[in-house]
Amino acid sequence: MWLSPEEWQAVALSARVALCATLVCLPTGIAVAYLLARRRFPGKFLLDALVQMPMVLPPVVPGYLLLLLLGTQGPIGGWLKTHFGIVIAFTWQGAALASATMAFPLMVQPVRLALRMIDGRLEQAASTLGAPPWRVFLTVTLPLATPGIIAGAVLCFTRSLGEFGATMAFVGNIPGVTRTLPLAIYSYTHVPGGDAAAMRLATLSIVLALLALIVSHLISRRAERLLGYRSHAEP
């Protein structure tokens, strides 16, 4: 086999973590993007800054903060362990949470831009015809924002596949438990004779990222054609 069982294990774990992180970010990202794009409220700038914070902080900082809050000795993590027996730190679920934290801005930004580009007259027409706000959002706003949602989901997934710093700080590098693809590459570069395995996994990471971007582009183009969009950058 091209990859060893340990390497396949890291790949499978990364896929699971990235998928869960994307599913967590999708509804919350759409909601936050809608607030930032369509609503005015006190503290909007603060919320916007908070959303973008993971992009400008060293990745280890959000991971360390997650450990302080959700570790077994933290205020939230300790409470979850005491009352429900739930432990998040040093688990693959914690890796998914760390990845979601770092990828969340990449989910919000494309959706926010897509919502801003929607012609408000279409939504007003639906409201004039008697549709309540929630129905307008579900049947008009969300479909028109589909390309941005797809782009955000793919960016979130690929970013989660490559998450390293926050994952290392929050859940560690435990083989078979939290050792995702980037952590496996890091580990192999620090053991004698691990260069070949590191190169295989690095190559696989590049291929997966390219495939995800290609699929995102094809799906977005398809959605744009269905919605009647025309890009000014294309002939």
- pLDDT tens readout for residues 90-145: 999 999 999 999 999 999 999 999 898 888 888 888 888 887 888 888 888 888 89
Separation CA 154–CA 138 (nearest Å): 21
Separation CA 114–CA 213 (nearest Å): 18
CATH architecture of 5-226: Orthogonal Bundle (1.10)
- pLDDT tens readout for residues 62-96: 999 999 999 999 999 999 999 999 999 999 999 99
Q: Indicate if the alpha-carbon torsion angle 40, 61, 163, 203 is positive or negative.
A: positive
Separation CA 32–CA 176 (nearest Å): 34
| Other C-beta atoms lying within 10 Å of the C-beta of residue 134 | 8
- Predicted confidence band of residue 1 (pLDDT cuts 50, 70, 90): low
This prediction has a pTM of 0.87
- pLDDT tens readout for residues 41-62: 898 999 999 999 999 999 999 9
Contact 17, 166 (CB under 8 A): no
Q: Which two tokens stand for residue 123?
A: 């939504």
Separation CA 147–CA 3 (nearest Å): 35
Separation CA 103–CA 162 (nearest Å): 10
Lowest mean pLDDT among 124-133, 170-179, 201-210, 222-231: 222-231
- Please state the domain extents for the chain: 5-226
First to last CA, the chain: 45
Instruction: Report how far Cα 106 is from the mean position of its chain's Cα atoms.
Output: 7
| Residue keyed to tokens 């590459």 | 185
Taking residues 220-229, what's their average pLDDT? 68
The pLDDT mean for the chain works out to 88
Q: Which two tokens stand for residue 166?
A: 């926050």
